Amino acid sequence: MGAMRRIETLYLAGPDLWFPDAETHDLKKRALVEAAGFRALTPFDNAATEMEASEVMARELYAETAQRLRQADALIANLTPWRGPGADPATAYACGYFAALGKPVFAYLNISDELSADYRDRVERMVGAAPDAAGVLRDDDGCEVEDFALPENIMLWAEARRFFVIVSPDPLMELAGLELSLEAVRLYAG
């Protein structure tokens, strides 16, 4: 029998901070985390003293976020495509931060249809790409498009202990991926 891994606190990363009605969405996510027996840390926990958007505020928020990332025992990352075919950059950063700390990452990606399940297909549709003479898919700048038949970049996909892809009519607000990730955390910690 494997050793139990102590997981009490989860950091919830994702572009959710920028969603319409983001605070209500955050409360729903926190309730699910608490019902699963964990404590949630989110970007909404940041209490910047600088109130005017500036470099000072940005650095303060960065420092507070880094502190919360270090406090958490595991990460659940919402890798739903954000403002393009890939994940929110801050969420990708959080995944790398956790990987560097040796802490587990669990992830989900919400999409509106099955055709969006493959990263390559999203790039082709959203950014524009076509095969070159050798059959390699390249974007409009001639750069090769990563094509491993995965839902997200290989580094984000491979780091996740579990990676769920959810098809939903409302990808921004869908919580099934979070619920599946919470179950995976419970199994991992058990």
pLDDT digit string, tens, across residues 19-51: 999 999 999 999 999 999 999 999 999 776 777
Q: Considering the entire predicted model, what is its pTM?
A: 0.94
d(Cα 175, Cα 168) in Å, to the nearest integer?
10
pLDDT digit string, tens, across residues 102-116: 999 999 999 999 999
d(Cα 48, Cα 106) in Å, to the nearest integer?
28
- The structural domains of the chain, ordered by start, are 9-45+73-189 (3.40.50.450)
